[in-house]
């Protein structure tokens, strides 16, 4: 960590609101002292709170894309809405060789089955390290010491305060489920069967089979919901996540089978730290790329599936 903290001195966050605040926090925790932010609209007072809280960090409130070019960042974090990711990736690649994108990498409703091809082309760009942030990778990795048997059945339920509806719920939350599932299954994706897909205005659900593992993904979004709720089961074991805020950081506990408490690292913080530490690691890059492309392929198949039950 210390080695990379010296190399990576500057960073830019595109889309500093919402999830961008988590990226900002982890960039600061990593030791980066010069951070620029670019929002959809320029707000003069955008960084007033951050300047008071992090007095040893120099913040730059950028007005436009030209500001990124002049800033010359070591890393760019793209946290804007998904529909802008492709646009922001294209100009970020002109100014920086290391880019972190909040999941999903990209998605265009007009591209239908081309999203995976576009993703592959973007990720294979010469000399560009583009990592997608999948927090559930960290959660799955932490679970492996508790779940070391062959997985035959997996259920992943995620209820959030998002404002998406119908298929947009799946587009938003499937990357979480896929990254969790494929990490536990060691990225083995040989056969894929859709059993059903059900979508409603505030919910999205599917049942699929990958090799001998049957998976159910159950998502709900309600903008009025105060906190997100994550539950999952692996074979006969059931888990639910509890989060609580302490000293400005979210701590996470898993409740296993309604009795055993397992302290885990915050998946968001842990995965972003892991990316920052390994952003120049070829093996880490290839693993992240493979997971991203597989995730987009699976999302395409499920979102374009027409025979709803």
Q: Where are the domains of the chain?
A: 2-102, 136-303
CATH architecture of the domain with range 136-303: 2-Layer Sandwich (3.30)
Same fold, 2-102 and 136-303: no
What is the Cα–Cα distance from 146 to 194, expressed in whole angstroms?
Answer: 28
Cβ–Cβ < 8 Å for 199, 192: no
Neighbouring-strand partners of residue 246: 249
Supply the pLDDT for residue 238: 97
Q: Tokens 């100014």 map to which residue?
A: 95
The answer on pLDDT for 99 being more than 50 is yes
Supply the pLDDT for residue 73: 97
Cβ–Cβ < 8 Å for 77, 12: yes
The answer on pLDDT for 4 being more than 60 is no
In this prediction, what percent of the chain has a pLDDT beyond 70? Answer: 95
Supply the pLDDT for residue 187: 61
Q: How confident is the model at residue 186 (pLDDT cuts 50, 70, 90)?
A: confident
What pTM, to 2 d.p., does this model score?
0.93
Nearest CA to 73 out of 5, 10, 130 is that of: 10
Q: How confident is the model at residue 138 (pLDDT cuts 50, 70, 90)?
A: very high
- The CATH fold of domain 2-102: Rossmann fold (3.40.50)
Supply the pLDDT for residue 3: 42
């Amino acid at each position: 960590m210390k080695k990379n903290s010296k190399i990576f001195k500057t960073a830019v966050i595109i889309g500093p609101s919402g999830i961008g605040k988590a990226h900002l926090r982890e960039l600061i925790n990593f030791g980066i002292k010069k951070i620029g932010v670019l929002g959809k609209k320029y707000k003069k007072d955008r960084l007033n709170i951050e300047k008071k809280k992090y007095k040893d960090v120099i913040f730059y409130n950028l007005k436009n894309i030209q500001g990124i070019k002049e800033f010359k960042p070591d890393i760019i974090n793209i946290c804007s809405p998904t529909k802008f990711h492709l646009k922001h990736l294209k100009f970020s690649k002109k100014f920086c060789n290391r880019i972190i994108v909040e999941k999903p990498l990209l998605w265009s409703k007009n591209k239908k089955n081309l999203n995976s091809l576009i993703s592959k082309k973007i990720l294979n760009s010469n000399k560009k390290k583009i990592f997608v942030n999948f927090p559930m990778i960290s959660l799955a990795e932490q679970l492996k010491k508790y779940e070391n048997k062959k997985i035959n059945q997996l259920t992943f339920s995620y209820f959030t305060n998002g404002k998406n509806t119908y298929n947009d719920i799946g587009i938003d939350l499937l990357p979480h489920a896929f990254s969790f599932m494929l990490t536990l299954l060691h990225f083995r994706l040989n056969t894929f069967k859709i059993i059903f897909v059900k979508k409603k205005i505030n919910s999205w659900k599917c049942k699929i089979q990958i090799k001998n593992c049957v998976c159910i993904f159950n998502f709900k979004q309600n903008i009025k919901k105060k906190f997100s709720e994550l539950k999952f089961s692996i074979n006969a074991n059931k888990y639910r996540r509890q989060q609580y805020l302490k000293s400005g950081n979210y701590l996470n506990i898993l409740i296993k089978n309604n009795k055993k408490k397992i302290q885990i690292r915050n998946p968001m913080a842990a995965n972003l730290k892991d990316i920052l530490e390994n952003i120049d690691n070829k093996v880490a890059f290839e693993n992240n790329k493979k997971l991203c492309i597989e995730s987009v392929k699976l999302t395409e198949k499920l979102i374009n599936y027409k025979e709803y039950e």
